[in-house]
């Protein structure tokens, strides 16, 4: 039996990439060839079938959003969803949006 109910990780190894881009082209000067290069925190849980949720947890200095991944035990979906809701209730990030330079005026 494990002593923890949840594991918290970054969602990706990078901030969000530009709108319209299919993937980041590089990370810290290294070319990104496959999704595993920039999603190393997601793939293990996709393979194991553990429940996970990603929620906003702030913005990088470039203004792009950063994601927090909450991972639970097998069949622990309700625990993951409760934790995500509690985090969103306790922080302002889910109500904020990044500034889009090319966004049309409202």
**What pLDDT score was predicted for residue 42?**
84
pLDDT tens, per residue, the chain with 106 residues? 568 999 999 998 887 777 777 777 777 788 877 767 777 888 888 889 899 999 999 988 888 889 999 999 999 999 999 999 999 999 998 888 877 766 555 5
**What pLDDT score was predicted for residue 52?**
96
**What pLDDT score was predicted for residue 9?**
95
Largest CA distance in the chain: 54
**What pLDDT score was predicted for residue 1?**
58
Count CA atoms within 13 Å of residue 69 on its CB side. 19
- pTM beyond 0.75: yes
């Amino acid at each position: 039996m494990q002593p923890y109910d949840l594991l918290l990780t970054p969602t990706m190894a990078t901030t969000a990439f530009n709108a319209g881009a299919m993937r980041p082209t590089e990370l810290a000067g290294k070319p990104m060839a496959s999704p595993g290069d920039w999603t190393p925190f997601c793939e293990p849980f996709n393979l194991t079938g553990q429940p996970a949720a990603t929620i906003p947890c702030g913005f990088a200095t470039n203004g792009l959003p950063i994601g927090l991944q909450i991972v639970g035990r097998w069949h622990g979906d309700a625990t993951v969803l409760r934790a995500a809701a509690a985090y969103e209730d306790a922080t302002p990030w889910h109500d904020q949006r990044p500034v889009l330079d090319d966004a049309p005026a409202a």
